[in-house]
Amino acid sequence: MCQLKSDNPSFVLHGVEDVKIENRPIPELENDEVLVEVAKTGICGSDVHYLQHGKIGSFVVKEPMCLGHESSGKVVKLGPKAAGLKVGQRVALEPGMGCRTCDMCKGGLYELCPNMTFAATPPYIYGTLCRYYKLVADMLHPIPDAVSDEDGAMMEPLSVAVHSLSKLAKCKSGDNVVIFGAGPVGLLCMAVAKALGAARIVAVDIQQERLDFAKSYAATDVFLPPKKNDGEDMDVYAERISAEILAALDIPAIGSGALNICIDASGAAVCIATGLHLLRPDGTFVQVGMGAPTIPIPMFAIVTKQLRVLGSFRYGQGDYPLAISLVSRGLVDLKPLVTHRYKFQDAREAFDITKAGKDKDGKPVIKVIIDPPQ
């Protein structure tokens, strides 16, 4: 065991737009639990959503909850039955734990466990934006020297991209991928598609500056959709935009070179409809972004093209190890995505600029990383 500090400063959400830095007890360990001293923490859109609204769908904040779930750290104490790790080891935190007994867990789909305990997700009130966080040993992934602490914190959103592209879409060399939304998760999906050998990676977004970054980062092509015409039906608009994308980028609708994978990281209904229209027959659509709970979709396109339409939820077995491998081998570069860094005591400002999408100087925000408490 390392010499522990006596306090555990934590960034705690008490209600809508009401956050405080306060001391919480250092977690006590049982069985295979491990105590981690947090090194770096990234801000996720879900953290911001809880700050702004106090809930996400059925997950409602009912008591003070520490925010944060994208973190790396160092092992400082092992529980009596913890195995496979040693004190001082640097790790990426996979911040959820299934019950280990239900059919989903036993079937290797622990991300779908109905009794999942996930950081900063009600009813669990503990998050990683603190000094010390505890997690079971098998949800801590050692990171090699080639992977920085910031990279380690980014393994969480990168694993979301790995899960959707590698496991669900089964992206492989030569595939042609279109990705809607050039925010952090969309950009990471582009990076993973590139690492897996996709021949063409088309980024679609409504902000030109995001598309410019996507093109410099991992996209082979970008497209800025024109606005919807007055009175134009959404599905008519989606069909029109899909046709314009194919024409503008010289992409065939079927056959060699056609788009066979679509990832939606926006959650916008019109993007989902456009993506379904874009796909070639026998294509695969994966929904990653969270939007309205119910939307209209072009079922005719799904049926007549025999599309596979899948939802993607977090990450599961093998996703973190693959994410770490891609970064350690230089196949995915996470460093360009970190645009802003903040001290722990300035976490509120970090959340504010993430929410705004730009800092006070007008610089776009992609990913914000927060240092640990001093």
The residues spanned by each domain of the chain are: 9-154+334-370, 160-311
9-154+334-370 maps to which CATH number?
3.90.180.10
Using CA atoms, how far apart are residues 374 and 171, in angstroms rounded to an integer?
42
Q: What average pLDDT does this structure show over 63-80?
A: 98
Q: What is the pLDDT of residues 167-214, one digit of tens each?
A: 999 999 999 999 999 999 999 999 999 999 999 999 999 999 999 999
- Does domain 160-311 correspond to CATH entry 3.40.50.720? yes
CA distances from 151 to 25, 49, 134 (A): 28, 23, 20
Q: What average pLDDT does this structure show over 220-240?
A: 96
- pTM exceeds 0.75: yes
Report the largest interatomic distance among the alpha carbons of the chain, rounded to a whole angstrom: 66
Contact in structure between 292 and 271 (CB atoms under 8 Å) = no
Tokens 């990832």, located at residue: 263
Confidence band, pLDDT 50/70/90 cuts, at residue 2: confident
Show Cβ contacts of residue 16 under 8 Å, excluding neighbours closer than 6 positions. Answer: 51, 52, 53, 54
Closest CA to 218 of 234, 198, 238: 198
Closest CA to 77 of 148, 9, 147, 8: 8
* % of the chain exceeding 90 in pLDDT: 97
Q: What is the pLDDT of residues 245-279, one digit of tens each?
A: 999 999 999 999 999 999 999 999 999 999 999 99
Instruction: Write a three-state SS string for the chain.
Output: CCCCCCCCEEEEEEECCEEEEEECCCCCCCCCEEEEEEEEEECCHHHHHHHHHCEECCEECCCCEECCCEEEEEEEEECCCCCCCCCCCEEEECCEECCCCCHHHHCCCHHHCCCCEECCCCCCCCCCCECEEEEEHHHEEECCCCCCHHHHHCHHHHHHHHHHHHHHCCCCCCCEEEEECCCHHHHHHHHHHHHCCCCEEEEECCCHHHHHHHHHHCCCEEECCCCCCCCCCHHHHHHHHHHHHHHHCCCCCCCCCCCCEEEECCCCHHHHHHHHHHCCCCCEEEECCCCCCCCCCCHHHHHHCCCEEEECCCCCCCHHHHHHHHHHCCCCCCHHHEEEEECHHHHHHHHHHHHHCECCCCCECCEEEECCCC
Q: Mean pLDDT, the chain, as a whole number?
A: 97
Confidence band, pLDDT 50/70/90 cuts, at residue 76: very high
Whether the per-residue pLDDT at 1 is higher than 80: the answer is no
- Give the pLDDT confidence score for residue 3 in this predicted structure: 86
Task: Please give the span between the terminal C-alpha atoms of the chain, in angstroms, as a whole number.
Answer: 20
Whether the per-residue pLDDT at 311 is higher than 80: the answer is yes
Q: What average pLDDT does this structure show over 215-242?
A: 96
